[in-house]
Amino acid sequence: MDPAALAHRIQLLFATPFEVGNMTLLIEASVGVASNSPGDGEDETTPDRLVQRADLAVQAAKAAQSRVAYYDRSMDRDKSEQLIMLGELTTALETDQLQLHYQPQIDLTTMTVVGVEALLRWHHPNGTVLSPSTFLPTAERTGLIRPLTSYVLTQALAQRRQWMTDGLELSIAVNISTRNLFDDTLIDQVCTALKEFDCPPRRLTVEVTETSAMTDPIGATETLSILHAMGVQVAIDDYGTGYSSLAYIERLPVQELKIDRTFIGGMAHNPAHAAIVRSTVELARTLGLSVTAEGVEDEVTMTALRELRCGRAQGYHLGRPTSADRLPALVAELNAHLNTATGERIS
């Protein structure tokens, strides 16, 4: 049978809902295809080598719109690059190359800084600073995501305690990945960090993406329910970029929605984006959820969000991510500026 036809047939078989107990499960299949090529050497046509190639193709298929991918030699190079990065990332954890930066979150009613989001950065020996999007996918495919998460929780809550000692009280938000959300050690990691650094659970917010939560709604609900019962705040990050309705999100034990910057950044010039933000804020408020706007880049957008009675905001207009030692000065500067500006507009 032609490989393309066989891949399509496999996908059709999985497209039929599965009945498990009293649940109906929908499963999407990714198919990787590898075949012998006339020019290949004998050592490259063994069954083991073909399975390895098919595995590489499956990984590529997961990112393809069709969910089907065919092996080519560039995948070997990609695999080698992943292995190199994995080794470098392990070294980074051991040699303090990783650092948390913190972005202020503003209460749009009081116009004061009330919290920060902890953002992981990798200060690579080659002189570049890497964001999580460049290395977390590799970490998620291995057990390395677990120590990375522990590092973020430990560093963030230790820093919060230090700020408290210095007279600055802030809530702190950390991001967890899909792999974290379904890791049975996550709850213990959070409990240990909260206890070690004497952090009230309500001062910690765990952010999960909408896509992560919808990967396995039942499993996500179980994990998030435990965190919620502990008193930890749960937020849906990048809201609006997935495919779930707000009514479905409301069934999850979450207290906050973070509207994605794609919609916030387009509010001033895109009526459709403005309408999406307005309706999301209104419905979320009706459902008892707080709302944070991400990607606030100018005064016009901030003013529009205040008029909509959006709860919080963050973005470059309100403070760029900065190192822990510089944050207290940034908070003081922002509070003074925002209060003065608000007072001038009122008067």
- pLDDT tens for 208-266 read 987 777 777 788 889 999 999 999 999 999 887 765 666 667 778 999 999 989 899 88
Domains in the chain: boundaries: 3-72, 83-346
Fill in the DSSP letter of residue 193.
Answer: H
Q: Indicate whether 40 pLDDT > 90.
A: no
Contacts of 164 (CB under 8 A, 6+ apart): none
Checking if the pLDDT of 272 tops 70, the result is yes
- Per-residue pLDDT of 108-117, as tens digits, reads 999 999 999 9
The Cβ of residue 175 has, within 10 Å, a number of other Cβ atoms equal to 22
Cα separation, 186 vs 227, in Å, equals 10
Residue given tokens 């001033």 in the structure block:
268
- What percentage of the chain reaches a pLDDT higher than 90? 46
83-346 under CATH 3.30.1240.10, yes or no: no
What token pair was written down for 144? 């390395």
Position 41 pLDDT exceeds 60: no
Q: What is the pLDDT of residues 121-144, one digit of tens each?
A: 999 888 899 888 888 877 877 678
The pLDDT of 65-78, averaged and rounded, is 72
* Residues whose CB is less than 8 angstroms from the CB of residue 219 and which lie 6 or more positions away in sequence, other chains included: 181, 182
Q: Is the pLDDT of residue 303 over 70?
A: yes
Query: What CA–CA distance (Å, rounded) separates 234 from 236?
Result: 7
Distance, CA of 265 to CA of 262 (rounded, Å): 6
Quick one: pLDDT at residue 135? 84
Backbone Cα Rg of the chain = 23
pTM over 0.85: no
In the chain, count of helices (H) and strands (E)?
Answer: 14, 14
Residue 346 reports pLDDT greater than 50: no
Q: Give the number of other Cβ atoms within 10 Å of residue 73's Cβ.
A: 8
CA distance 53 to 213: 31
Range name among 2-6, 47-51, 294-298 with the lowest pLDDT average: 47-51
- What mean pLDDT, rounded, does the chain reach? 85
- Higher per-residue confidence, 248 vs 88: 88
Q: Identify the DSSP state of 175.
A: E
Residue 42: is its pLDDT beyond 70?
Answer: no
